[in-house]
Amino acid sequence: MLHEELIRRDAAAIAGVEKLRFFPATMKSGSGAHLTALDGRDYLDLTATWTAAGLGYGHPRVAAAVTEVLRGQPGAGLSIMHEPAVLLAERLLALAPGQGDRRVYLGHAGSDACDVALRCARHATGKRKIVAFNHSYHGGFGVAQAVSGVLVEGGAQVDPDAVFVPYPNPLRPHKGTVAESVADALAQVETALAGGDVAVVVVEPILADGGLVVPPPGFLAQLAELVHRFDTLLMIDEVKVGLARTGRMHAYEHDAVTPDIVCFGKSLGGGLPIGAAVGPAWVLDAPSASALLTMAGNPVCATAALAVLDELEEQDYASRAASLGAYFAERLRDLMAGGGVQGGRSAGYIGDVRGHGLYIGLELVLDRDTAAIASDMTRKVIYRMWQLGVTVFSVGENVLEITPPLVITRADIDTAIGVIDQAICDVADGAVNDAEVAAYSGW
């Protein structure tokens, strides 16, 4: 198919409810950190498809494992027991620290892993309230959606028993100073906990879709201490940032936190759909047969996930993400300091560079002094970058979310820096018009 034809047929065939687009990319294949378009053009991918292709596209180890298991698939779900599901569950139990009798829910994605864990927490504790954060994201349906601050703010149905509290933002404190914002957020959590009717507190270790906010150091540890002081469950959502991307196997390891429930998804499947929730048996065992997806825990996706975990651990991708991420961030900070090749002009629009490892946010502003959010420009920079051969998405209104496959190289990063620099300058010069981006406004 040709580019224009695919766009036309996609519009006529694929449901709008599942489209979130920033540019009209039409790809035919992918390898590592690169995608190849229908017209044969190479694109460096800084999205990893929202981190789902964490090890890149078509990873040989994942491909080989999946091909092998498909030749003699031992069933297709969990009603017939098979090794891959049990091996994966045991592996995740070993990976996510915790005490006592624990279980793993295997599902299709981050959304159902979070949804099931939240529902189980309610059932197990007999309590209804869920404390979640403003601008958070935990899934596209059910309770996970209804406690996702960013969706509720966008008009999704709010869970009647959700309590939303601020997520401390070091760049834009919601109350006075950063320290005051942390204190206020914790005070609001404490007020909710003091009511005695909170089933679970759910938090992202880095607020992702809400604008890539890295919490002030110590915030998560204080939150964990508070939640546990009230003998309540703490659920950490590692779906987007977990599994080596931030330079640690788990993003919550950047702070001293021991979660009760951890959810995984996206990169766990190496591009195949799988998600998981790890937590206490008394939470995840009941009610029996209450979270049934026929193909959950299927041997193909479980085998892919095992190959992903083998590769991440044996090749120490956490260290790779830490060092390449540091290099990427340093080069972005060079741009911010005026080191871009176009006379340093891009610097005036870069308000912040933040993140951990290969989870990096580049915030675009209209003016460095006022930090005015450059949302229209952000849309256009992303579109221009695609035109220049690099794909990236945004979160919040003005943050480029840089999440390349962990196999990205230094040479790729150098390419990306050049394109980011050029795209910002081109857009400042009016290279992209409103009509071009109208149908691709993302969120």
Tokens of residue 123, six digits: 């059932």
3-state SS string for the chain: CCHHHHHHHHHHHCCHHHCCCCCCCCEEEEEECEEEECCCCEEEECCCCCCCCCCCECCHHHHHHHHHHHHCCCCCCCCCCCHHHHHHHHHHHHHCCCCCCEEEEEECCHHHHHHHHHHHHHHHHCCCEEEEECCCCCCCCHHHHHCCHHHHHCCCCCCCCEEEECCCCCCCCCCCCHHHHHHHHHHHHHHHHHCCCEEEEEECCCECCCCCECCCCCHHHHHHHHHHHCCCEEEEECCCCCCCCCCCCCHHHHCCCCCCEEEECHHHHCCCCCEEEEEEHHHHCCCCCCCCCCCCCCHHHHHHHHHHHHHHHHCCHHHHHHHHHHHHHHHHHHHHCCCCCCCCHHHHHEEEEEEECCEEEEEEEEECCCCEECHHHHHHHHHHHHHCCEECEEECCCEEEECCCCCCCHHHHHHHHHHHHHHHHHHHCCCCCHHHHCCCCCC
The only residue of 102, 119, 254, 266 in contact with ligand PLP, by rule CB under 6 A: 266
In angstroms, give the least distance from the CB of 334 to ligand PLP: 29
The only residue of 129, 135, 138, 384 in contact with ligand PLP, by rule CB under 6 A: 138
The only residue of 23, 43, 105, 137 in contact with ligand PLP, by rule CB under 6 A: 137
Q: Which of residues 111 and 422 has its CB atom nearest to ligand PLP in the complex?
A: 111
In angstroms, give the least distance from the CB of 422 to ligand PLP: 29
Cβ count within 10 A of residue 339: 15
Beta-carbon-side half-sphere exposure of residue 157 (alpha carbons within 13 Å)? 5
Q: Which of residues 203 and 300 has its CB atom nearest to ligand PLP in the complex?
A: 203
In angstroms, give the least distance from the CB of 84 to ligand PLP: 20
> In this chain, which stretch among 71-79, 107-115, 211-219, 315-323 interacts with ligand PLP, using CB under 6 A?
107-115
Q: Which of residues 214 and 423 has its CB atom nearest to ligand PLP in the complex?
A: 214
The only residue of 135, 240, 354, 384 in contact with ligand PLP, by rule CB under 6 A: 240
Cβ count within 10 A of residue 333: 13
The only residue of 47, 49, 111, 375 in contact with ligand PLP, by rule CB under 6 A: 111
Cβ–Cβ under 8 Å, residues 111 and 118: no
Q: Which of residues 209 and 260 has its CB atom nearest to ligand PLP in the complex?
A: 209
The only residue of 114, 162, 189, 358 in contact with ligand PLP, by rule CB under 6 A: 114
The only residue of 110, 325, 340, 405 in contact with ligand PLP, by rule CB under 6 A: 110
252 is catalytic: no
The only residue of 32, 56, 140, 357 in contact with ligand PLP, by rule CB under 6 A: 140
In angstroms, give the least distance from the CB of 263 to ligand PLP: 7
> In this chain, which stretch among 3-11, 57-65, 234-242, 426-434 interacts with ligand PLP, using CB under 6 A?
234-242
> In this chain, which stretch among 93-101, 236-244, 308-316, 339-347 interacts with ligand PLP, using CB under 6 A?
236-244
45 contributes a contact to ligand PLP by CB under 6 A: no
Compose the 184-223 pattern: x for residues touching ligand PLP by CB under 6 A, - for all others: --------------------x---xx--------------
Identify the residue whose tokens are 């620099």.
421
> In this chain, which stretch among 131-139, 302-310, 351-359, 433-441 interacts with ligand PLP, using CB under 6 A?
131-139
The only residue of 23, 50, 133, 164 in contact with ligand PLP, by rule CB under 6 A: 50
Catalytic position from the list 43, 105, 137, 167: 137
Q: Which of residues 109 and 408 has its CB atom nearest to ligand PLP in the complex?
A: 109
Residues annotated as catalytic are: 137
Task: Summarize as ranges the residues that interact with ligand PLP (CB under 6 A).
Answer: 50, 109-111, 114, 137-140, 204, 208-209, 237, 239-240, 265-266
